[in-house]
Amino acid sequence: MSSPQVTLYTAAAPNGWPISIFLEELGISYEAIKMSISDSDIGKVHNQVKSPWYLEINPNGRIAAITHNGFNVFETSAILAYLQAEFDKENKFGFSPVGNPKEYSEVLQWLCFAHGGIGPMQGQLGHFKMYAPEQIPYAQNRYLNEVKRLYAVLDSRLAKHSYLAGDKYTIADIKAYGWVRLGVLFAERYGLDPNDWPHVKEWIDRIESRPAVQKGVKVP
Ligand SMILES: N[C@@H](CCC(=O)N[C@@H](CS)C(=O)NCC(=O)O)C(=O)O
């Protein structure tokens, strides 16, 4: 049996799903290593994201990361962009920066919006709603309002286009979907109402009808 082309370090989490989804979309062989992201496993569990061996692969000590031909990549969006450049030569999931610089820029804009906006804000909302040792209404409301605002931005974009960068499903959709999936699953606990974003709901349905997405969210 030939060895897998890519090793993926991941967990069942919004920063893991986009990578397994994209690897499934690309149809390349990969091995998924399940990592513990629990602080209580630090120093006890070998596959913990703060283990010395893993910090050599991802100095930020978080999932996701990949290794391909001995080359390590960390940060979800950097991984998606790397995989697209290496394995999507026909640009089925994006655009060439040389041939289509404007379309390429649109993908990058929405990728950055998801990576720098939705991910960190929704991550903080989850922390203050579900895990913080004390209930701090100011912090909960601040992140809830910001997440609602960001989802409204998504909704207004998706009212005009089938996908974030236009009419093509790209790595920007794959990245955003990871967090939006969690937003829907945990809507009640977050204090969100998915009915507030009808176009986002239609976009989710389009994305979830894809066999690669259905497979990817089950990894690890
Ligand atoms: N900006 C990073 C965020 C990665 C991240 O926060 N991953 C979380 C899981 S969704 C994690 O590994 N947390 C473990 C920890 O903070 O120790 C990326 O996009 O890859």
Q: Kindly list the domain boundaries of the chain, sorted by start residue.
A: 6-93, 101-210
User: For residue 2, what pLDDT is reported?
Assistant: 80
Please give the structure tokens belonging to residue 69.
């031909």
Q: How far is the CA of 125 from the centre of ligand 1 (A)?
A: 14
CB distance 14 to ligand 1 below 6 Å: yes
pLDDT tens, the chain, 220 aa long: 689 999 999 999 999 999 999 999 999 999 999 999 999 999 999 999 999 999 999 999 999 999 999 999 999 999 999 999 999 999 999 999 999 999 999 999 999 999 999 999 999 999 999 999 999 999 999 999 999 999 999 999 999 999 999 999 999 999 999 999 999 999 999 999 999 999 999 999 999 999 999 999 999 9
The dotted CATH code for 101-210 is 1.20.1050.10
Q: How far is the CA of 98 from the centre of ligand 1 (A)?
A: 31
What are the angstrom distances between the C-alpha of 195 and each of 118, 178, 199, 213?
A: 18, 19, 9, 22
Please check whether residue 158 is in contact with residue 200, taking contact to mean a CB–CB distance below 8 angstroms.
yes
What burial letters (b/e) apply to 151-162, b meaning 16+ CB within 10 Å? Answer: beebbebbeeee
DSSP code for 130: I
Q: Which neighbouring-strand residues pair with 48?
A: 36
User: For residue 1, what pLDDT is reported?
Assistant: 61
Nearest CA to ligand 1 atom 16: 62
Residue 79 sits at the vertex; the CA angle it makes with 212 and 149, to the nearest 5 degrees, is: 80
CB distance 76 to ligand 1 below 6 Å: yes
Fold assignment, 6-93: Glutaredoxin (3.40.30)
Q: What are phi and psi of 47, to 5 degrees?
A: -85, 55
What is the number of residues in the chain?
Answer: 220
Count of other CB atoms within 10 angstroms of residue 190: 21
Closest CA to 13 of 72, 62, 54: 62
